[in-house]
Structure 1
């Protein structure tokens, strides 16, 4: 469980302690984070938008400009909520197990449904859909492959890829003609290139991380606790998602700290 400084919880705390970002709202969120918080509600909205988006995109044969405009609005709302739910969860410590699972599912559901529908309508080549969805599936499998050794942080290229994909797919959802139709082709081309490049970079990082992890395991005494290497990944995730001023030890880390303290007392 994340330990919250007294100053963040409303107490006096140590002099000069940095308060939780967001003031009283941030402190309250740290203490009362639950399933029904604003970040999770935004994720739920995004999940509910998926079937509605598909119906709008395919409505009236799939080529009606009015229906496509409504579909674009649903897609845009989904993309915007994707930006805000993660930010709110990290800023106010609203990270939950549900959010960790549902957020990536919602992301892939809205993007995957858009790509498949556009290819089915003949607006987007199937190979583009295959490259993007194949990359996402491959990265998900890679995460499981290296999860015991640590976590690969999101890169700037990955964020650019997400932005390019969202922009390109949104432009394809709209019934554009003329120069805008040409522009969306090039935006999608950039998105595909970023998808491939960032995917290869992720593979490289995963291989390096796994190699270092296996090397550490091979050194006698390098890892006293069999779960310590996996705990490193958890600690890294906690450090990336915890708000400024909130520090704590979770899981195996807390047990290791307690064990070390007990050992020092016994030695004395």
Structure 2
């Protein structure tokens, strides 16, 4: 499932070609998003076999998220393309899953809206301040990613066994709490980072 290592936004790019195995896995994850959507909605969206296949696609895509980051860092394959495409692929996958589940009435829309607003907001914040410095992924943010992925995967599997529903809700509830707490933390850190950058700039102009 999703990695608990550092995220690529904070990694310095390497002077290597964008055509490498790490970026190929990222692109593969992007390609899997429409495949996941098709399998999720196949046969009305609640066929047990197709929902299991949708879960397999979701799980494979989530695993590539961990693998591509590890490969990029260990082999020095971090590129500007990867730093941009990796979070896009992540958000596309989880966004497609949450929206799809809400369309199928398996997940309340308010949860999808809250989680997506948080994801887009945090990503926007990090790119907003990136010229001043990097806001590294916190341990809470990594925990949120794991909880969210596990919960989403369980909701995909619910038609296969109703006993999964309380387990899925437990993970989703925890993911929402952690998402809100870490979202606020990202806001505070972004404000502090910009303020510190402005203070340094003002000090450098002082004769």
Deviation, 1:136, is: 1.0
After TM superposition, the structure 1 = structure 2 runs for residues 25-64 of structure 1, keeping only pairs within 5 Å, are: 33-64=16-47
Question: SS at 1:182's partner residue?
Answer: helix
State the alpha-carbon separation in 1 of the partners of residues 129 and 88 from structure 2. Answer: 20
**Corresponding position: 1:193 with 2:177:** yes
Q: TM-score, normalised by structure 1?
A: 0.69
Give distance in 2, aligned partners of 1:220 and 1:107: 39
Query: In the alignment, which residue of structure 2 is the partner of 1:210?
Result: 194
What's 2:108 paired with?
125
- Quote the residue 1:115 is aligned against: 98
Q: Distance in 1 between matches of 2:62 and 2:91?
A: 11
What SS does the aligned partner of 1:219 have?
Answer: helix
Give, in whole Å, the separation in 2 of the partners of 1:206 and 1:218: 18
Q: Which one of the candidate residues 96, 100, 103 is aligned to 2:79?
A: 96
Tell me whether 173-182 or 101-110 shows the greater mean CA deviation: 173-182
Match of 2:127 among 130, 134, 144: 144
Query: Which 5+ residue runs of structure 1 have no aligned equivalent?
Result: 1-29, 223-268
Give structure 1 regions of 4+ aligned residues with deviation exceeding 6 angstroms. none
**TM-score scaled to structure 2, two decimals?**
0.88
Deviations 1:234-254 (A, max 9, x none): xxxxxxxxxxxxxxxxxxxxx
Alpha-carbon shift at residue 210 of structure 1 (Å): 1.0
| 1:135 and 2:118 correspond | yes
1:229-248 to 2 correspondences below 5 Å: none
Question: What is the count of residue pairs matched by the alignment?
Answer: 193
Distance 1:123 1:107 in 2: 21
Partner in structure 1 of residue 9 of structure 2: none
Gaps of 5+ in 2: 1-13
Aligned to 2:6: none
- The structure with the largest helix share of the pair is 2
1:84 corresponds in structure 2 to: 67
Q: How large is the RMSD of aligned CA atoms in angstroms?
A: 1.6
Instruction: Give the CA deviation at 1:139.
Output: 1.0
For 1:151 and 1:172, the matched residues in 2 are separated by 33
Which residue in 2 is equivalent to 1:248?
none
1:41-65 deviation digits (Å, cap 9, x = unpaired): 1111101101110000000000101
1:153 to 136, 139, 144: 136
Among 189, 203, 207, which residue is 1:219 paired with?
Answer: 203
